[in-house]
Amino acid sequence: MRTLLSLGLLKGVIAGLAGTAVGMALTMVVRSALGYPAWQPDQVTLAGTLVGIPAYLAGVGAFSAWWGWVLGKGIEEPGGHHFWGWTRYFGADPNHKVIGIQYMATSLVVIAVAGIYQLIARLETSQPGLQFLSPDTYNSLMSLHGIMMLGAVLLGVSGMINYLVPLMIGARDMAFPRLNAFSYWITVPAVFLLLFALPAGGFDTGWTGYPPLSTKAPLGMQLMILAFYLVGWSSILGGVNFLATIMKMRAPGMGLFRMPIFVWTALATAFLQIVFTQFVGIAFLMVLLQRVLGLGFFDPAKGGNVLLFQHLFWLYSHPAVYIFVLPGLGVISEIVPVFSRKPLFGYRLVALSSFGIALQGAIVWGHHMFTAGIEEWLRIPFMVTTMLVAVPTGVKIFSWLATMWHGKISLDTPMLFALTAIAVFLVGGLTGIPNGIVPTDLYIHDTYWVVAHFHHTLFGGFVFPAMAAIYFWFPKVTGRLLNRGLGKLHWALMTVGFFVTYEPMFWLGLNGMRRRIADYDPALGLGPMNTVVSVAAYVIALSMLVFFVNLVASAWRGTRAPANPWRSRTLEWQLSSPPPEHNFPTPPQVLGSPYGFGIPGSVHAVVTPAGGAGEEKGGLGRVSSG
């Protein structure tokens, strides 16, 4: 009971609930004092969250170090405590590995909930006619599925970057450990808000929240906006942290062009996060201001214009797709050389391609608005800039293929997931071309073609790579191996389930299946194919179940992992599994490329093992080639 009460999370939730209640009560008192009816859902809940979230953060302990600093104390060494008790994971802990695991675990929980929402919705669309959901409930489930999945992707991306980047560049932690903890802990109320959105009436706008619909949608909309805003700030502050870490905390000798590709992708991702997230933040705040205070941004009668929202929204949300996928593509670039025992092909170009993608991504947002009343003369320029993305992504795909060419490929679970990811991402990229070309887009916009396309990019760029990453780095994180048989079963079910779910959606889209609808015309003859899609969706769910069982069982009783089970060369593998509290007792000395597999005499780094204990666990001195 003591330990339970000492958990930051519990203290935070109690303080947060109390704060919310106070905020809501105060507003209602003020409202009735001014002669308005006390209850106005948008205003009252907004005030509640404005008080509740800071109260919650204070309860968690996210402010305490800063407060002490103001009062004149020094900021103690990050992670001064050296225990590995489970309670660490439920409070504001500044260690980047703890925070990485917190992000990843939260991400998996949100993915599970969002997946369940869509599984329910798929039951509804497996046949024409309304089965058991009202159109509004369907739309709420579909919208929440979308926004929660994307939130989970952002969390997963932060999780991977947090855990891996400091290790890979030979740093002892992130540049700003407290800010890092803060960035994680503001996402937890966002998750709660999203969970409350359904009981609060949901919202029927899809994940994009376009006005004018979003200015009139039920209270659930507002909770979604607040959640989006919190996750956005987590993303911005995380980006500041990642950039500062990568630019300033690299070990001696770790020049930019000796960094693993994953670090390069993290750098490009962080750049996108700090530049573009502000746009979507302000777009959603405008919706909020119109809902709560009656401002006129999107109301033509008050001089507003809904296109403003679309511009600001896509100015973020197109680059955001690269925030979602770049780290995943980086994971593929890490895994492919290790399991092919060959150097990564075209390292420099691949490293720069992430920045190519990031810069190109900044000038294409209008392709989402071809059908939505964008200024006519803007269509062709946006179409042309959109096509340019083929160059940097092509670089990546060719690099993976060339790396595998004539390699000694071993098809272990991480590699299997990476291979599926490449195939799926390729299809996603190719099917995006018709979306970017104005005449074809006019036809397929808002159909299941688009749904199929972006699930390919998201599964190929995030889900499959994230699974590959978990199978690859799980031994490093926990010191135990994931079960290989279950892993391969997971891979097989998920790969088959994926293709059977999403390839038919292209056909459905071309044949007139609109997206975001609970019902469709039986005369279109789309029923049987929709049934196939729904059944296959449950196969994906089954594969995830296998995965969760594997995670829990292996963390608990899996085979002990050696320090470097995959014979990788990057720095994190030269430490014990799991790595010591502050990673490297003395900074490693970096001498060469991380990918020199099979090159005689090639050395990535010299790592001095942690005093004694590290040595026997295999904290190698020299990393040999091979």
Partner 1 sequence: MAAAAKTRGEDRVAIYRLGLWLFMGSESFLFLALLFSRFYLQGVQRPAELNQPLGLVISIVLLLSSLSAYRGETCAVYGDQAGFRRNILVTIGLGFLFLVGVGIEWSEGFHFFPPSTGFGTVFFTLTGFHAFHVLTGVLALAAVLVRGRKVQYGPGSYWAVEGAVKYWHFVDVAWVFIYPTLYLVS
* Chain positions contacting Cu ion, by CB under 5 A: 318
118 binds ligand HEM (CB under 6 A): yes
What is the crossing angle of helices 8-33 and 187-197, to 10°?
60
303 binds, among ligand HEM, Cu ion, partner 1, none (CB under 5 to 8 A by kind): partner 1
Q: Which of 65, 104, 142, 226 binds ligand HEM (CB under 6 A)?
A: 142
Give the largest Cα separation in the chain, rounded: 82
Long-range contacts of 464-467 (CB under 8 A, 24+ apart): 464/328, 464/417, 464/418, 464/420, 464/421, 464/424, 464/494, 465/327, 465/328, 465/329, 465/331, 465/332, 465/417, 465/418, 465/421, 466/156, 466/160, 466/328, 466/331, 467/417, 467/491, 467/494, 467/547
Q: Which of 28, 55, 149, 193 binds ligand HEM (CB under 6 A)?
A: 149
The least distance separating ligand HEM from the CB of residue 282, rounded to whole angstroms, comes to 21
One-letter amino acid for residue 98 of the chain: V
- Binding string, residues 531-550; x marks residues near ligand HEM by CB under 6 A: ------x--xx---------
Q: Under rule CB under 6 A, which residues in 437-456 are in contact with ligand HEM?
A: 451, 455
One-letter amino acid for residue 374 of the chain: I
DSSP alpha helix (H) spans, 341-437: 347-361, 379-387, 390-404, 413-436
253 binds partner 1 (CB under 8 A): no
Residue 190 main-chain phi, psi, to 5 deg: -60, -40
The least distance separating partner 1 from the CB of residue 179, rounded to whole angstroms, comes to 8
Q: Which of 484, 488, 516, 617 binds ligand HEM (CB under 6 A)?
A: 516
The least distance separating partner 1 from the CB of residue 373, rounded to whole angstroms, comes to 14
Q: Under rule CB under 8 A, which residues in 562-621 are in contact with partner 1?
A: 586-587
One-letter amino acid for residue 118 of the chain: Q
Q: Which of 135, 294, 522, 525 binds partner 1 (CB under 8 A)?
A: 294
CB 25 within 8 A of CB 39: no
145 binds, among partner 1, Cu ion, ligand HEM, none (CB under 5 to 8 A by kind): ligand HEM
The least distance separating partner 1 from the CB of residue 293, rounded to whole angstroms, comes to 6
206 binds ligand HEM (CB under 6 A): yes
CA atoms within 13 A on the CB side of 51: 18
Only one of the segments 2-10, 206-214, 343-351, 394-402 lies at the binding site for ligand HEM (rule: CB under 6 A); that segment is 206-214
Question: What is the distance between the alpha carbons of residues 205 and 215, in angstroms, rounded to a whole number?
Answer: 10
Q: Under rule CB under 8 A, which residues in 112-141 are in contact with partner 1?
A: none
DSSP alpha helix (H) spans, 34-83: 41-60, 64-70
372 binds partner 1 (CB under 8 A): no
Question: What is the distance between the alpha carbons of residues 155 and 149, in angstroms, rounded to a whole number?
Answer: 10
List all residues 6 or more positions away from 524 whose beta carbon is below 8 Å from its beta carbon: 128, 511, 512, 513
The least distance separating partner 1 from the CB of residue 369, rounded to whole angstroms, comes to 14
- Binding string, residues 148-187; x marks residues near partner 1 by CB under 8 A: ------------------------x--xx--x--------
List contacts with partner 1 (CB under 8 A). Answer: 69-72, 74-77, 172, 175-176, 179, 236, 239-241, 243-244, 247-249, 252, 274-279, 281-283, 286, 289, 293-297, 302-305, 308, 311-312, 586-587
